Amino acid sequence: MRSGRTGRDMQRLLFATDFSERSDRALRRAVLLARQSGASLEIVHVIDDDRPRRIVEQEATEARHLVDGLARSLREADGLVCETRIVLADPFAGIVQTVKSTKPDLLIIGPHRRQLLRDIFVGTTAERTIRSAGCPVLMVNGPPVGPYRHILMTTDLSDASRNALDRFAALDFGQLPALSLLHVYGAPALRLAMSDTMVDEDRDAYLREVRGEVQAELGALAAQLAGPRAQLILRHDETSVAHEILRAADDLEADLVVVSTQGRNALTRILLGSVTDEVLTAAPVDVLAIPPVRAD
């Protein structure tokens, strides 16, 4: 990646909370990022309005008390410019509506409720939000003990992925951490039925040829990207792309993984089980999911 920044840093952060312990962890990361970048912070809590009106109104009153107290504490203790918003809607729709109206540079949410298996057509609120928000979404999985130390960016070498990396370069994560750029490459010939008859020498030669080609592509992509230079990493998809990404993050001790929500095949965004979904579900560290820029 080229040195220097694109000149557009984070100015508005939106934090969505459900007042759970998972959200508390995400709030601590939101505060760290706001203090590092000087961004304003807005806290939104969505109340499911598909219930009796009396219950909704009572919960709204309690939620208003909680978020106002939280914002007051952040303003006094951390000196943050902090606003609050209570939205009555379906949790997914309420967050997306708030994103559209406030246009934050980054939405921050807590992690999956991993014990609740995903519905193949609907997915969790987190997954649906990440698909629909239109802005970068940070899912906080790890303990926010300080600024990020090592960020692992990923790419499938597609235009959408390159677009996502440019959007990432425009964000301000404070003091620059170590950066790595990973591409997990496939070896199509090894998946053919006749691949078992390939001798070791031919297999190794084929892998070297494939690796050389994708290494040239990765280098060319990195040279076009804005932002500071990153260490370039290639891994063969011996298991799955998502698994290799998580293995690389573990090997590098990365505490943030950057993924694009759209790759070479846009249809994969419809189905759960895509690379991004798998990383979001299984990552023990924070994941930044970046959508492509939309025409509207």
Q: What is the mean pLDDT of the chain?
A: 84
CATH code, 240: 3.40.50.12370
Q: Kindly state whether residue 295 falls inside one of the protein's structural domains.
A: no
Kindly tell me the number of DSSP H helices and DSSP E strands found in the chain. Answer: 8, 10
Is the confidence at residue 261, as pLDDT, over 90?
Answer: no
Residue 4 located in a structural domain: no
The domain tally of the chain equals 1
Domain range enclosing 51? 12-290
Domain membership flag for residue 268: yes
pLDDT over 50 (residue 3)? no
The answer to the question of residue 99 being in a domain is yes
Look at residue 25 and tell me if it is in a domain: yes
Give the mean model confidence (pLDDT) for residues 252-262.
92
Residue 5 belongs to a domain: no
Mean pLDDT of 55-70: 95
pTM score: 0.87
Residues 6+ apart with CB under 8 A from 236: 184, 185, 186, 187, 207, 211, 244
Q: Does 6 map to a domain?
A: no
Q: pLDDT by residue (tens digit) across 118-146? A: 443 335 667 778 878 889 999 999 999 89
Q: How many CB atoms lie within 10 A of CB 167?
A: 22
Query: Which alpha helices (DSSP H) does the chain contain, by range?
Result: 21-37, 53-78, 91-102, 125-132, 159-169, 200-224, 241-252, 275-282
Q: What is the pLDDT of residue 238?
A: 83
Q: Which residue has the higher pLDDT, 75 or 198?
A: 75
Q: In the numeric block, which tokens belong to residue 42? A: 């807005």
| Residue carrying the six token digits 């290799």 | 244
What local confidence, expressed as pLDDT, does residue 5 receive?
A: 45
The answer to whether position 218 is within a domain reads yes
Cα-based distances in Å from 41 to 8, 98, 127, 129, 256: 17, 13, 22, 19, 21
**CA-based end-to-end distance of the chain:** 28
pLDDT in tens, 14-60: 999 989 888 899 999 999 999 988 899 999 999 999 999 999 999 99
